[in-house]
Structure 1
Amino acid sequence: MKIRDWDRNLKVRLFGEFLMNVTFWMFFPFLTIYFAESFGKGTAGFLLIFSQVFSVLASLMGGYFADRFGRKRMMVIAALGQGISYVFFAAAVSPWFTSPIIGFIAFTIVGIFSSFYYPASQAMIADLVDEKERSNVFAVFYTSINIAVVIGPILGAIFYVNYRFQLLIAVAVICILLALLLTKLARETLTPTTKSVQQNPKWYSFLKNQVADYKIIVQDKIFLLYVTAGILVAQTFMQLDLLLPVYIKEKVGNQTLFDIGNWKLTLHGEQAFGVILSENGLLVALFTVIVTRWMTKYREKNVFILASIVYAISMVLFSRTELLWGLMIAMAVFTLAELMTAGLAQSFISKLAPDHMRGQYFAAAGLRHTVGRTIAPISIPLTVYVGYQWTFIILSALALVSALIYHFMFNLYERQKLVEQRIS
């Protein structure tokens, strides 16, 4: 399905969300540095955990609101809410007034509105696109996000340091323009036949349903181990926008990336992190399909275990170098681990899930990221007590523990399959 054949709703979203993502990634990777400098690393880490708890709760509510009030309405409200929140964030870092507390509150509210936006946006795609074409449409949006991850940090390394206020105002304007575009050009895709949630007068029913869905992780031992291993290994890849920017900011002084004739590029900490994050986005955009096809040739057990080990190696590599090229090599190893299971994780969940519970299993599998992201900011205050090297070693150890859990889990899974084959 080509983009020119898309519904107008999707074309408007693709254009508006791409601009929003580029500007978002121009400043988001550097926020951990900003909060660490403003509050201290210990306090910043706990504040980020606190902020993430609100986002997790909002994500539970987002799907319910999208089904109850409509996809378009929630996306307009969420985009407008993000825009207004960015205005307050910009005011908190303006040349005339500075308040890290207001900045943090605005950042938290942005996260809440973002959690309202994306469930509605995903549901809109499902409403508009035939099932056989959905993966292609999702892939285009995913690719646009990764292009933004490549472009945004590079531009951010230039503009964030010197034009922070102007940058946040630009993000606010783009979010508000997206809300206006959706209002004028998009249509509501929630039909009367999909408004089953509206028939339930109890507003808190969505929470009860979510809790009921998550109960399955204690009923299925193999799935419980899968989620547990995922939460542990998430402590490594969640550091991409938590520990790594602070580490690189503090450890990387002015370094020359290349010096060829009249061409010379010298970077300091924040700029170096922008380049390294863009490297991750570029590698993901270029090699996701290739690495996924490569990994499908091997046993899933070996791929998951090896990915955790490669994550552990990348953490050690980050801790052992302060040189820019060394950090880029460490990021390449880190990205390889990310790509190894990118295509296999969803397919493995579908194998674990009974047909009549597949949606519940996918919902519960999201705990790997929601719980993982809630815990991950602990790494920042941890550096205050044990230092960077030991923090990276602890993260590496958690990845190795996840490899052991994957080993045990796949052994149980393979034995279960053997028993099922004998019975059949």
Structure 2
Amino acid sequence: MAANALRQRIRWVALHGVIRGLAKFTARRSGDPQARLIADPAVRADPGAFADEVRSLGRVVRCRVVLVTVDHQAANEILRSDDFRVSSLGGGLPKPLQWVNRKTHPGLLHPIEPPSLLSIEPPDHTRCRKLVSSVFTTRAVNGLRDRVQLTADRLLDDLERESGVVDIVERYCSQLPVAVISDILGVPERDREHILRFGELGAPSLDIGLSWRQFQQVEKGLVGFNAWLGDHMEELRRNPGDDLMSQLIQASAAADDTGRLSERELQATAGLVLAAGFETTVNLLGNGIRMLLDDPGHLDTLAERPELWPNAVEEILRLDSPVQMSARYARRPVEVAGTPIERGELVIVHLAGANRDPQVFTDPHRFDIERDNAGRHLSFSGGRHFCLGAALARAEGEVGLRTFFERYPGARLAGSGQRRDTRVLRGWSTLPITLGTARAALGS
């Protein structure tokens, strides 16, 4: 037990502790943008202001260790270019720290370590994504809209029994996507609270420079999720259903040697689809509810013109991106926006900043549900790593937000709420709401 605790502590130092200490020092001393992304709470509080500061320094800014861009054109180019590849946890560490990470690795699947789709490239990425895409077809996803609506209605029916203040993140924003993705992937209802808990614990796993407390929570979440996922997939093998997870398992088993996934690849792919299927949508719903309650004039417009809901969702995704940043390594020497980038250098693509580029979005910090190019945001990344679940997230955002405000037109904020203590993912951990009278009861 003591040996495991020591191993975990050493791994934290190698992966996060050294970076965290250096980032705090560098952020205070020089204001280095990369260090501020890791260590400055002001960046998390106001990513738009941070993006403006970085933009004033250039289209692609060289920091002490990496490069950062908040430029929409440069970001889009990097995300789509074959001159760049995705990063993985610890991949950019000095060689001695990489060695420590390998020696202390617990063997758990991690969302930004191979064989996760987020951290592999062709040919492995092509093989894994092709298999998932054969199951998660556009037709299959489009057919889920009715299920999203039924789930939203049921959850809001339950809220009608409440009086006073409710935490809308706990009672609705998290429950809707976990119920939908669980239905899709064959997760029994008894396990859904476990999934929510694992997601909450594991959300900071995409960040670097974690505190020791955060790292311990992440490890706890990963241990629980890995164990649960293995058991769940074994159960689906024994008793397959008509869910997409069962289809994914069967499709892999039926594929030839060039298309079949190893057991670890299959678990990593299934786990990513499950976790990503609700994690970012929780943030989309919470961010959207908060933004619309802060600017209720838009709710009046949407009540009069409900056809604007899809565009409103795109604007919410643009202005308060559920995923704030991504990263790419240069495969070879390349030039982006006039800046030379050497082979092996890492570029932080600040999606939230690119989504506020004034060269693309007029008055970029303004919330405008009628913005004609809101859909040009990069919140779902781009290129071969474009989010597989984008269509489902959009459907859940549109149906979930529209249905909530149609049912509770008098909803009001009942407190400031609390942001999640994460940097790659942006959302609310709590958001207290006074619901008011449900529309079904109005006029009675």
- TM-score normalized with structure 2 length: 0.30
* Higher-strand-fraction structure: 2
* Higher-helix-fraction structure: 1
- TM-score normalized with structure 1 length: 0.32
